Amino acid sequence: MTTQLERHDIKPGMYIFLQNNSKNWYVRFSLWGKWYCKATKEADKDRAIAMAHRIFIEHEIRAETNTLTTSKRFRDVAEKAIGTMKADLARKAGKAIYEDYIGALQNYHIPFFDRTYITSIDSEKLRDFDLWRENKMKRRPARSTLMTHNAAMQMVFKEAVENKWMLQMQIPSLTTEGTNTVRRAAFTPSEYERIQEYLYQLEQNSRKEVTKQIRELTQDYAEFVIHTGMRPGTELDNLTWGDLHIERHDDKATFFITVRKGKTTLHTGTREVVCKRALQNTIWRMTERFPNRQAKDLIFRLPDGSTTNEISRTFNAALKEIELDQSPHGKRTLYSLRHSFITWELIAQKVTIDVLARQCGTSIEMIERHYSHVIPRMFSQQLSGVELPDKTEIEKKWEHDSAVAKRWKERYTKWETRYKRKGCI
């Protein structure tokens, strides 16, 4: 508990004092019927008196110009900003990235700044925060991380200004000098085949039935990511059989997925994703396993109808076992399959960047920033003047004989009929 050690009256309604927890003097004064307490940041008594007069005059001017603020502790302002963002998300007026801002504030800013007054946060305090954050992360944060953290901090400052807890001119400048994580870790087609082969072996050697089911579902999950570019997590986890629909023309068919929930859908709405042809084998296997599926049923569920949180862990554990979890461009995880999809599409030169951006629910700028090492390959034919065959090995595997084509036509017809009748293939 703080104790006042010394007090010196300057004039009626204004005095400076010393406390046992600081060598510097504080000033307390009354203005328009309200008492204020401010730090002079001076240890010398005479200098503290001079600073007290200056602080009083500044407050008097602000009071006359209606720019006087009553500062708040950072934690209080941050929690109010979080409440505002959560309310916006609940009424679908906020941005999906608000979730990232909230996480940054709760995990980093609030623990560090805590009871610091919002108006006391200056460049020096921010530098201390940068060092603390690097120690907490055990690395220098990427520029994209800093941009997210800075945007979260700006939401707090905005809340403070709107509530007159600080002035616009008191907001310090924020830096974005982080590491440039331009290239994202991905897999080559041969590496992806190794992963799936290993997952299949694990499935076949499972001792428990539920373990076998999880490993089988992990293979299906990976196939959906690599052949659609969808985000593992919210986008895929919330897919239902009713979100998967088919358009058929004789012995050919295209599958579409309606993405209703994910990182960007709150801001941009639902989007349609086109499935690669190679995914049709996966879809067929899954329909065989779930013959009684309904439109509202989740696609990625176990036979008993329950869901599992083990897919990501199973995939990442498999990567580690076959030593594919590390790459020259960082650690590889289940999410690296999405990066692989984008990389392969750019190399294959099948679609333009704007089409790919819409498919993946991202921006052209993000693709150009993180896949700049691939984009020159898109123009290899124009630059070299050499025209190479356009059929990939995967596509060659899909050149059916008449019997295979007939079987697929029967499946397409069955799925199309079922979709019209039950709302799912």
Indicate whether 184 pLDDT > 80.
no
Query: Residue 180's pLDDT is what?
Result: 54
pTM of the model: 0.57
Nearest C-alpha neighbor of 146 from the set 104, 106, 99, 93: 104
Query: Residue 392's pLDDT is what?
Result: 45
- Of the candidate ranges 41-45, 309-313, 399-403, 418-422, the one whose mean pLDDT is the lowest: 399-403
Are the C-beta atoms of residues 220 and 282 closer than 8 Å to each other?
yes
Which whole number is the average pLDDT over 147-174? 86
Indicate whether 394 pLDDT > 70.
no
Query: Residue 3's pLDDT is what?
Result: 85
- Of the candidate ranges 225-229, 265-269, 328-332, the one whose mean pLDDT is the lowest: 265-269
Query: Residue 395's pLDDT is what?
Result: 45
Return the structure tokens found at 362: 């991202």
3-class DSSP state of 395: helix
User: Which residues contact residue 96 at a Cβ distance below 8 angstroms, ignoring those fewer than 6 apart?
Assistant: 262, 263, 264, 265, 266, 267
- Higher pLDDT, residue 42 or 21: 42
Query: Residue 355's pLDDT is what?
Result: 85
Local confidence band at 296 (pLDDT 50, 70, 90 cut-offs): very high
Query: Residue 385's pLDDT is what?
Result: 47
* Residues pairing with 37 in the sheet: 28
Query: Residue 84's pLDDT is what?
Result: 93
Indicate whether 284 pLDDT > 60.
yes
Query: Residue 264's pLDDT is what?
Result: 62
- Of the candidate ranges 56-65, 173-182, 198-207, 403-412, the one whose mean pLDDT is the lowest: 173-182
Which whole number is the average pLDDT over 346-371? 79
Backbone angles phi, psi at 11, to 5 degrees: -160, 170
Q: Which residue reads 């990389």 in tokens?
A: 343
Over residues 232-241, the pLDDT tens digits come to 988 999 999 9
Q: What does the mean pLDDT of the chain come to?
A: 84
Local confidence band at 49 (pLDDT 50, 70, 90 cut-offs): very high
Local confidence band at 32 (pLDDT 50, 70, 90 cut-offs): confident
Nearest C-alpha neighbor of 171 from the set 104, 125, 132: 125
Which whole number is the average pLDDT over 380-396? 46
Query: Residue 386's pLDDT is what?
Result: 45
